[in-house]
Amino acid sequence: MFMSMTYSLSIMFMFMKTPMTMGSILVVSTLNMAMIMGINMQTFFFSYIMVIMMMSGMMVMFIYMSVVASNNKFNSSIIMTIVFITVTMISLKFTNPTTFKINNNEQLMLSNMTSNTQVTLTAIVMLLIVMIVVVTMVSTTKGPLRMSSN
């Protein structure tokens, strides 16, 4: 069920025009993928981390879009609803549920590939680099993204 929903959301994402609908589809797709990861790996830790990272990125994008394009109207389409339902039904019909399960041997191999210190150091270095890039990109002397009309 989650895979068919992810397929249909991916197809719908290609036809969306407004950034807010694209963001909402990304959030729902992320939650679906987190559920799939949690069920297959029998632990929800990695899916929890993925959801936190995607939600924080989506919050930044939401703030940016609300500043730049705040007056866009949301137009719902009956065609997109029909496409969503059709793709979901087709993928439910032809999907084998055992295809996406990870067996215990593969799970053990995944857990042996990483060590906690390597993952922690990699995350620290990555976050440091991202912080340095963001600080160098932001210039406080140029003002806001969109000037007020006062």
Global confidence as pTM: 0.52
pLDDT (mean) for 132-148: 66
Q: 26-59 in b/e burial notation, b at 16+ Cβ within 10 A?
A: beebbbbbbbbbbeebeeeeebeebbeebeeeee
pLDDT digits (tens, 9 = 90+) for 47-81: 888 888 888 888 887 777 777 766 666 666 777 77
Check the CA dihedral 58-59-60-66 and report its sign: positive
Decide if pLDDT at 20 tops 60: yes
Token pair listed for 131: 């912080």
The alpha carbon of residue 80 and the mean position of all alpha carbons in its chain are separated, in whole angstroms, by: 20
Decide if pLDDT at 99 tops 60: no
Percent of the chain past pLDDT 90, that is, above it, reads 0
> What is the pLDDT, as a whole number, of residue 23?
80
Crossing angle between the packed helical segments 19-41 and 2-15, to the nearest 10 degrees: 160
Decide if pLDDT at 27 tops 70: yes
